[in-house]
Amino acid sequence: MAHIGRYATLPIVKLVDFGAYLDAGELDTILLPKRYLTDEMTIGTEVDVFLYLDSNDIPVATTIKPFTQVGETALLKVVDINDAGAFLDWGLPKHLLVPYKEQHKRFELGQSYVVTLYLDPYSQRIVGSSRLSRHLEEDGRHLNVGDKVDLLICGKSDMGFKAVINQAYLGLIFRDDAFRPVRYGQRLDGYIKGIRADGKIDLSLQPLGDKGRDRLQQKIMDYLQQSGGRSTLNDKADPAEIAKQFGVSKGAYKKALGALYKQRAITIDHDEISLN
């Protein structure tokens, strides 16, 4: 089913001088302007398009792919500000409006902000919002601890870093779990660390439990083999160097080294580790 603000694959049902009409189901037929047509397109051809409202609030199709779509969240740059709000570059000629009431703080020209897209229930226009808690779910009681998820860093607090989870939820990376630098607007992999009694979601940047340790142990063994069997990244190494090489905290790294030592796979010396 086709929806405004989303991608769709629609068949051409009519060709006219100024473009082609696509069958959009309940949305009726929607114009794909002539500038987006190719010689291979004819009646019956299915075309991958994005649907939005033009300047006259009429549904129209384009083959240009915007940076994001309704129901998703992205980091976008402010390119204009007027009495209606801020306008962001999202990859289409018609910029994305973020009304003042949907700005968590007043946007500044030239700055980038994490926003989520939704359809205004009254006008059916596509608009953005940086007030993410209004539009994203914060109760994760039906999620599974340990699951790998996609994260978008969307804020910072005294407790840690706020993140959008799989485009649908909001969660928190506590400062102690942010063992490597993260920045606003950054996309990265994460893991569900825990679900609190109120449903709030705690996140980790590394796998949990034995599964994570087993994976890290193999990475350490592979690294040693590629490094001639020796490495200066022992249990006293700089946490920043450990994070840079393996993407984990020093605590997780030391646990993995300890497990490999108990398995007699490695030797840990004062200034290096080595393969046995």
Q: What is the distance between the alpha carbons of residues 259 and 21, in angstroms, rounded to a whole number?
A: 64
Q: What is the model's pLDDT at position 232?
A: 87
Tokens of 245: 């090489």
* Per-residue confidence band for 209, with pLDDT thresholds at 50, 70 and 90: low
User: What torsion do the CA atoms of 99, 104, 109, 114 make, to the nearest 10 degrees?
Assistant: -100
Amino acid at 196: R
pLDDT tens digits, one per residue of 106-118:
999 999 999 999 9
pLDDT tens digits, one per residue of 116-136:
999 998 888 999 999 999 999
Mean pLDDT estimate for the chain: 90
Q: What is the distance between the alpha carbons of residues 181 and 239, in angstroms, rounded to a whole number?
A: 11
Residue written as tokens 């009495």? 83
Q: Tell me which range, 101-105, 210-214, 252-256, is most confidently predicted by mean pLDDT.
A: 101-105
39 Cα distance to chain centroid: 36
Q: Is-contact 224 231, C-beta < 8 A? A: yes
Q: What is the model's pLDDT at position 201?
A: 94
Which residues does 141 contact at the CB level (< 8 Å), separation at least 6? 195, 199
Q: What is the model's pLDDT at position 139?
A: 92
Q: Is the dihedral of CA 252, 256, 261, 263 positive or negative?
A: positive
Instruction: Residue 20: name the closest of 54, 43, 51 by CA.
Output: 43
Residue written as tokens 């108990």? 262
pLDDT tens digits, one per residue of 151-204:
999 999 888 999 999 999 999 998 877 777 889 999 999 999 888 888 999 998
Instruction: Residue 248: name the closest of 205, 219, 209, 211 by CA.
Output: 205
Averaged over 29-53, what is the pLDDT?
94
Q: What is the model's pLDDT at position 221?
A: 83
Q: Which is more confident, 52 or 270?
A: 52
Domains of the chain: 7-62 (2.40.50.140), 73-134 (2.40.50.140), 148-204 (2.40.50.140), 209-275 (1.10.10.10)
Instruction: Residue 235: name the closest of 193, 270, 186, 188 by CA.
Output: 270
Instruction: Residue 10: name the closest of 27, 55, 90, 119 by CA.
Output: 27
Please list the alpha-helical segments (H only) found in the chain: 209-226, 239-246, 250-262
Q: Is-contact 4 26, C-beta < 8 A? A: no
Q: What is the model's pLDDT at position 186?
A: 96
Q: What is the distance between the alpha carbons of residues 100 and 86, in angstroms, rounded to a whole number?
A: 7
Instruction: Residue 90: name the closest of 103, 78, 107 by CA.
Output: 78
pLDDT tens digits, one per residue of 220-238:
888 888 888 888 888 888 8
Report whether pLDDT(83) > 90: yes
